[in-house]
Structure 1
Amino acid sequence: MRTFLDDNFLLKTDTAQELYHQYAKNLPIIDYHNHLPPVEIAQDTKYANLGQLWLANDHYKWRAMRSHGIPERYITGDASDKEKFLKWAETVPYTMRNPLYHWTHLELQRYFGITELLSPKTAEFIYERANEQIGQADFSARGLLERMNVAVVCTTDDPIDTLEHHQQVSKEETSFRLLPTFRPDNAMRAEDTVSLNAYIVKLEEVAGLSIGNFKQYLDALKQRHDFFSLCGCSISDHGLGQIYTEAYTDAELEVIFNKIRNSRQLTEVEVLKFKSALLVNFAEWNYEKNWVQQYHLGVMRNNSSKMYERKGRDTGHDSIGDFKQGPSLSRFLDGLDYRGKLTKTILYNLNPADNELFASMAGNFNDGTVRGKIQFGSAWWFLDQKDGMIKQMNALANIGLISNFVGMLTDSRSFLSFPRHEYFRRLVCDQFGDEMERGELPNDMEWIGKIIADICYYNARSYFRL
C-alpha cells in the first residue's frame, strides 16, 4: 500500500513518475489568474499565525466548515484566529475525497514540512509548529511566493484601482513579476443601478472625467484600459454567467445610461443591451493592444440572499449554473472574428456538461496566426479537482491540441494555494505516462517530456509574452 502524499502521489506508473520528476516538478510557476491582494505583496506582509494566513479569505474552506455544522462565528465571525483554525482542524478529517483534503496536507508539507495529518488531535501541535515558521522573515507574502518558485503573479483588478502597489513592486528587485489584470465586472452590473451609479462616480474621480452619457462612460473606461497597459497589464478577465449578445443601438444605450445615472431600474432587455455593448468594446480594446482576454462563464452567484446581505460577495454562496452557453458564445466570437477584432482568448466553463462545447468552440476560431490562439481554459473553481481536471484535459485532448494548452492557475485568494500547480502537473504526467505504458502513446520520453514542460510552463510564457 502506498504512503499518503508520498513523492509519487497521483503518479500511478514508472513513466508518469519520470515525466513528473524530470520534466515538470522544478519548473517555475506562471500564475496568470489569481485574486491575491497586491497590497500584501507590495508591503511584504508578515502574518500573525496560521489561522490568519490560511482561513481569512478562503471560501472553499468556509463552505466545507458550514457543511460540517460549524457556526458562522468560527468562519467569518469574531472568533479568534486560533479558534477558527481549531474548527477547521475539526472539519478536515471529514473532507476525505474532497480536494480540500489533498490541498490542506500538500500545503502543510510544501510550506511547513509538516507531514502529520490535521485533526483535533494534532491541531495544537501543527498550529504551534507552523506559527514558529510564520514568524520567520521568509514566510512573508513575498517569501511564500519565492518558496514556491513563482515567476509571475497576475492579480485581478478593477478599472478604478490605482495600481499603486503594482507600480511600487515593478520598481524593486524581486524574484517574480507582479502584473495587473483588467477585470471590469463591476462596470457592467446594470441590474443594480444604484450601485452602478455609485461606481460611475468613483470612475469619474479616478479618470478625472465628467461622465454624463454612455460615450463618456466608454471614454473613461478606455482611459483606465490604457492606464492598465502602461502599468504592464496585458490580460483582461470577466466572470459571467454567460456571454451577452443582445442587439443594441447607440440611441438605446444613451437612454439606458440616462436611466442608470438617475438610479432608475432597467428592464431585463436593457440590462442585456448595456452589458453586450460593454463586452464588445472591451474585446476590441483588447485586440488593439494584443492582450489576452479571459472569460470565466457559468457561475450562479450569491444564491443565498440572506448571507449576501450579511456578508457580501465571494463568501462561499456561489454555485455551478446551467446557462445555455453555445449560441451567444458563438455569436460573440464570430462577430469579433468577422471584423478582424478577435485577440487571444481563453474560455473557462464552470459546468462540466459544457466541456466538449467549449473545447469545440475554441477550435472554431483558431486562424493559424498563433499557436492555440483560442484556448479551452483549465478546470475552474468547483472543477479544479482531480476529476474535473482530468475531464477538462480529456475533452481538450480529444477535440483540440492539448500540446498547446497554457496549463494551470490558482484562481485563489490565498498565498498557500500554489501547490495546486503541483497537483495539476502530477495529473498531466499521470495521464501521459499511463497512455505511454499502455502503448497508446509512443515511448518517446524526450518528446513527451517536452510537451509536459510546455503545458506546465513554456506555453504560458509564450502565450502571455512573459
Structure 2
Amino acid sequence: MDNTKRAFMDKDFLLDTEEARILFHKYAEDMPIIDYHCHIDPKDIAEDRNFDSITELWLGGDHYKWRAMRQCGIAEKYITGKEDSRERFRLWCRTLSQAVGSPLYHWSHLELQRYFDCDLPICKKNADRIFDLCNAKLQSGELSAKKIIRMSKVKVVGTTDDPCDDLKWHKTISEDKSLGCRVIPTFRPDKVLLIEDGGFGDYVSALGKAAGVDVNSFEDLKKALSARIDFFAGMGCKSSDQSTVMFPCDRISEAECERIFRNGMANETVAEEERLGFITEVMLFLGKEYRRHGWVMQLHFGVARNTNSRMFEAVGRDTGFDRIHSDAPIESLAAFLDELDKTDSLPKTVLYSLDPSMNTALDVLAKCFNEEGVCGKVQHGAAWWFNDNLGGMKDHLRSLCEQGVLGNFIGMLTDSRCMLSYTRHEYFRRILCAYIGRLCADGELYWDEENLGEIVKNVSFNNAMKFFGME
C-alpha cells in the first residue's frame, strides 16, 4: 500500500493503489452520467432555475442534511424553516465539521470543488467565506439547472412521477434541443396500493380523470393504469419505481379483488389480509404491463416511514424520519418474481433494499431469474439511502462480486432532490476503482488493464444505458 500522505480530497482521493488510479483517471473519470433514478423536480430543469443562495441549493429538500443538523441539536426553524440563509448555512457548516467520516462530508466537499472551484474545508471558520463565494457564482447565472446538467456530463435524467401527472414539464424539456440530456419520467404508482388510506377513493378518481376512464370497478382501475402507462411510454418513460415494505404474493380471486376495491373506494375498513391480496393483484398486473412496454421495474423496500409521529405532524413526510425496516421480505419477494416469471411476464427488474444484511440474499435471488440475451435481468441495485456511503458501497460491491457478476452491474444513481448530487456518481466510481485496484494490488485479481478498464466504463455508464433501453 502507498503510505504517502496525500492532500485533503485531492485528485487521487480514495484511490490508494496505482491500479485504482489508472482505472479511475483513464476509464471512469470522464464517462458521462445516466442518473436513472432521482427526485429532481422537472420544473426546475424546464425553467432553467437559478438558485438564490447556496443555502437554498444545499439544504432545500435534503433530508440527509436535515437529519445531521437535528442530531447536533439545531432548532427546526433553521433546518426546514425560512430563517436567515447565512445563519442556516453557518449552522450547516458547524454540523458538517462534526460529521467526520460521513458521506455528507465527502459529497459536500466534492460539490464545492467541482461546481464552485473551491477547496476550502467546510467548517465554522470558513462558513462566511464559502457562503459569499458560492453565492457570487450562483448570482452570476453560471450554475443554473441546465448548466449544472451540462457541466456534469449528464446524458439521461429519470425523474420520479405520479401516474396522474400530466408531464407538461417533460414536454417542455423535450423541446429544448440544446440541453444535450434526455429528461424522462418514471412511473411511480405507490398511491394506488394504499387501499387502507382514507384518501384512496379520491386518488383513484383523480387517476381515472387523468386516464379518461370512469373508475367504478377493479377492472376499470386496471384500464386506467394501463392508459397512464401508455401515456408515460409515449413521453419516453423507460421504467417504473415503487416503494413498499413487503411483497405479498397470496393470490385472491377476481371477485374478492372487486369486493375489496369497492370497500376501499367507500372508505370502509379493509382487513390486513384483504389489503395484502389487493396489493398482490395490482403489482402483478403492473409487472405484466411493464413487460409489455419493455420497461425496467425498480423496487425499493425495507423502509419504515415517519417513525417520529410528533415530527410527522409538524413537518410532514420525507423530512428525515424514516428508518430501516426490520422485516426482510425475501420470501414474498421471491414468490412475487416467480409468479411473474411463470407466465413470461417478468420485466427487467432492479431490487434495492435499505437493509444491508440482505446483500447476499438479494444477489443470490437475482441469479434465479434470467433471460437469454439479457445480462443481469434481475439486478441488485446500488447501495441505497442509508447505504450509499463508503462502507455500504464496499459491502455491496463485495457481495455483488462474490455472488453475482460485477461486469453486468448497472452502477450508481443519485436518488436525490439536489441538482449538485451528480458528484455521487464520482464518489461511487472512485470506490469502484479502489475496490478493483485493491484486489489487483493484493494479488487476488489479475491486472488486465484492458478488461478491467472496460468493466469500469460499463458499470459507470454503458450497462445502464443498455439495461434501460437508452442506447
TM-score using structure 2 length = 0.97
Q: Find the counterpart in structure 2 of residue 251 from structure 1.
A: 255
Q: Distance in 1 between matches of 2:126 and 2:340?
A: 56
2:207 corresponds to 1:203: yes
Look up the equivalent residue of 1:316 and give its one-letter code: G
SS in 1 for 2:125: coil
Q: Distance in 2 between matches of 1:246 and 1:322?
A: 21
SS in 2 for 1:284: helix
Look up the equivalent residue of 1:327 and give its one-letter code: E
Deviations 1:360-404 (A, max 9, x none): 000000133301111111100000001001111111110110111
Q: How far has the Cα of 1:82 moved from its partner? A: 2.5
2:70 corresponds to 1:66: yes
SS in 1 for 2:199: helix
SS in 1 for 2:399: helix
Listed as ranges, the matches of 1:44-123 within 5 Å are 44-123=48-127
Q: Find the counterpart in structure 1 of residue 188 from structure 2.
A: 183
Listed as ranges, the matches of 1:357-376 within 5 Å are 357-376=361-380
Q: How far has the Cα of 1:428 moved from its partner? A: 0.6
SS in 2 for 1:398: helix
Look up the equivalent residue of 1:80 and give its one-letter code: D
SS in 2 for 1:345: strand
Listed as ranges, the matches of 1:2-17 within 5 Å are 2-17=6-21
Q: Distance in 1 between matches of 2:301 and 2:372?
A: 25
2:327 corresponds to 1:323: yes
Match of residue 154, structure 2, among 150, 156, 163: 150
2:318 corresponds to 1:314: yes
Look up the equivalent residue of 2:193 and give its one-letter code: M
Q: Distance in 1 between matches of 2:289 and 2:382?
A: 25
Look up the equivalent residue of 2:205 and give its one-letter code: V
Q: How far has the Cα of 1:219 moved from its partner? A: 1.0
2:331 corresponds to 1:333: no
Q: Distance in 2 between matches of 1:265 and 1:117?
A: 55
Q: How far has the Cα of 1:294 moved from its partner? A: 0.6
Checking the alignment, whether the CA contact within 8 Å between 1:90 and 1:119 is kept in structure 2 is: yes
Look up the equivalent residue of 1:65 and give its one-letter code: M
Q: Find the counterpart in structure 2 of residue 224 from structure 1.
A: 228
Q: Find the counterpart in structure 1 of residue 407 from structure 2.
A: 403
Q: Find the counterpart in structure 1 of residue 441 from structure 2.
A: 437
Q: Distance in 1 between matches of 2:454 and 2:61?
A: 36
Q: Unpaired runs of 5+ in structure 1?
A: none
Q: Find the counterpart in structure 2 of residue 275 from structure 1.
A: 279
Q: Bigger CA drift: 150-159 or 368-377?
A: 368-377
Look up the equivalent residue of 1:427 and give its one-letter code: I
Q: How far has the Cα of 1:87 moved from its partner? A: 1.4
2:438 corresponds to 1:412: no
Q: Distance in 1 between matches of 2:255 and 2:373?
A: 37
Deviations 1:3-58 (A, max 9, x none): 11011000000110011000000000000000000010111111101011111110
Checking the alignment, whether the CA contact within 8 Å between 1:36 and 1:155 is kept in structure 2 is: yes
Q: Unpaired runs of 5+ in structure 2?
A: none
Q: Bigger CA drift: 124-133 or 321-330?
A: 321-330
Q: How far has the Cα of 1:243 moved from its partner? A: 1.5
Q: How far has the Cα of 1:204 moved from its partner? A: 2.6
Question: Percent identity, aligned pairs only?
Answer: 41
Q: Find the counterpart in structure 2 of residue 452 from structure 1.
A: 456
Checking the alignment, whether the CA contact within 8 Å between 1:213 and 1:257 is kept in structure 2 is: yes
Q: Distance in 1 between matches of 2:267 and 2:291?
A: 33
Q: Distance in 2 between matches of 1:310 and 1:204?
A: 32
Q: Distance in 2 between matches of 1:191 and 1:2?
A: 56
Q: Distance in 2 between matches of 1:223 and 1:216?
A: 10
Checking the alignment, whether the CA contact within 8 Å between 1:31 and 1:152 is kept in structure 2 is: yes
SS in 2 for 1:137: coil
Look up the equivalent residue of 2:206 and give its one-letter code: K
SS in 2 for 1:156: coil
Checking the alignment, whether the CA contact within 8 Å between 2:86 and 2:128 is kept in structure 1 is: no
Checking the alignment, whether the CA contact within 8 Å between 1:244 and 1:279 is kept in structure 2 is: no
Q: How far has the Cα of 1:230 moved from its partner? A: 0.4
Q: How far has the Cα of 1:176 moved from its partner? A: 0.7
Checking the alignment, whether the CA contact within 8 Å between 2:55 and 2:86 is kept in structure 1 is: yes
Checking the alignment, whether the CA contact within 8 Å between 2:196 and 2:264 is kept in structure 1 is: no
Q: How far has the Cα of 1:247 moved from its partner? A: 2.1
Q: Distance in 1 between matches of 2:285 and 2:88?
A: 44
SS in 2 for 1:100: helix
Q: Distance in 2 between matches of 1:307 and 1:220?
A: 35
SS in 1 for 2:314: helix
Deviations 1:179-218 (A, max 9, x none): 01001001111231x2212211221321222111111111
SS in 1 for 2:350: strand
Match of residue 290, structure 1, among 277, 285, 294: 294
SS in 2 for 1:229: helix
Q: Distance in 2 between matches of 1:392 and 1:96?
A: 22
Q: How far has the Cα of 1:289 moved from its partner? A: 0.7
SS in 1 for 2:268: coil
RMSD: 1.0
SS in 2 for 1:139: coil
Look up the equivalent residue of 1:68 and give its one-letter code: C
